[in-house]
Structures are given as C-alpha cells and as structure tokens.
Amino acid sequence: MHWYLAVLKNYIGFSGRARRKEYWMFLLIHLLIAFALIFLLGALGDGRAFLIPFYLYFLATLIPALGVIVRRLHDTGKSGWLYLLNFIPAVGGVILLVMLAQEGHYGSNQYGEDPRES
C-alpha cells in the first residue's frame, strides 16, 4: 500500500524516475481496487448508475498512473513519449510492457538520480 500511496502523493509528477517495484506495486493495487469496485457494483445491481464510482476512481487515478508510467520509462533511460506506442494496435502494448519490465539504469541519467540510492 505504501507504493500506491506514494504514487498518489506525487499526483502530477512526470519528472524523475520510478523503480520497477513502485510501478508494479501501484499497478497491482490499482487493478485490485478496480476489480473490487466492478465486483461490488455488479453485485449491487445491473444499472449503469452503479458504474459511476468506478469511472470516478478511474478518472481520479488516471494522471498518477500516467505519471508513474512516464517515470518508469525515465528509469530505463527512455522518453516518456514512448507511452504513445501503446496506441499501435496489437504490438504497441507488448513493446511498452517489455520496456516497463526492464531493469532501470544504475546511477543517474538525464532524467534524474537513481531512485534506489535515495
């Protein structure tokens, strides 16, 4: 939960670097919350009004999620603009996933200090 809250506290932080652990722990908790909301809202009824809390959660965490993805790409020495690869059908998401799973550079790079050292 620490990593999830750390990303939310850095709400609009697109500069700097994010460790693999920070990104993957945020993603895990984010998906668990989203699935729990979908499950609970589905159990309460089948009306569209029940999706409003899910959409509000999604909108509230959209910018922090993009921020941690950009910082994760920075940790691997790549530009955050490579997130746009995600919009290439079929292969873009896979390429982005591989980049996000790579180990970050040791020491500082053009995007900041190594987050493992702080």
Q: What is the pLDDT of residues 4-44, one digit of tens each?
A: 877 887 777 788 888 888 899 999 999 999 888 888 877 77
87 assigned to some structural domain: no
pTM of the complete model: 0.85
Give the Cα separation of 74 and 81 in Å (integer).
10
pLDDT of residue 29: 92
Query: Is 10 part of a structural domain of the chain?
Result: yes
* Counted domains in the chain: 1
Q: Dump pLDDT digits (tens) for 66-96.
A: 999 999 999 999 999 999 999 999 899 999 9
* Alpha-carbon dihedral 46, 50, 54, 57, rounded to 10 degrees: -170
Query: Do the Cβ atoms of 105 and 75 come closer than 8 Å?
Result: yes
Q: What is the pLDDT of residue 96?
A: 93
pLDDT class of 47 with cuts at 50, 70, 90:
low
Residue 108 in domain: no
Residue 63 lies in a domain: yes
Q: Considering the domain boundaries, does residue 114 fall inside one? A: no
Residue 41 belongs to domain spanning: 2-72
